[in-house]
Amino acid sequence: MSSFAAWGLTILGLAVTTTIAEMLLPQGKTRKVIRSCIATVTVLLIVTPLPQMLKSGFDFDFFGGDGIETDGKYIEYVDDAKRKMIEQSVEEYLRQSGYDGVIVSVELGDGGFTAKSASIKFDETGITENDAHIHKSEIIKLVAEYLRLGEEAVMTYG
């Protein structure tokens, strides 16, 4: 806890204690003497930490600083993790369907696990346009079905 927060909590605790003590005090001269003693203690508690705080500077950081990240960075991290998870699952589905080495990139829709579009790269797979036994259209269809997209939302490269 920062020194500023501890100082504030001390003053708050003193205020609560003073209020309770005021209710319990008897009427008369004794009450006046005790109230002046409480006022002196209050002034001392407020003034005592000020020189130290002025030397070291005020620390208004109530949360520790290092444990908090901006929302933007966290949202980007989560969106990137979702996208990678979906891409890996599509590639694994294609691998199980007999198409190994196909690279799929996915663009996510707004805030969810649904894909808006997909891109398939055939460059690194060794698949060429003239291969008779591998049909790119079948891979496009598998990706579109897996992601629940129309085939027009699946682009191919290579």
Tokens of 119: 């891109």
* Cβ atoms within 10 Å of 141's Cβ, excluding its own: 13
Sequential pLDDT tens for the chain (158 residues) = 567 778 788 888 888 988 888 888 888 888 888 888 888 988 888 888 777 767 776 555 555 555 555 677 878 888 888 889 988 998 899 888 888 778 888 888 776 667 888 888 876 665 555 555 567 888 888 888 888 888 888 888 76
For the CA atoms of 126, 128, 130, 136, the dihedral, rounded to the nearest 10 degrees, stands at 100
> What pTM value is reported for the model?
0.50
Q: Nearest CA to 134 among 90, 105, 97?
A: 97
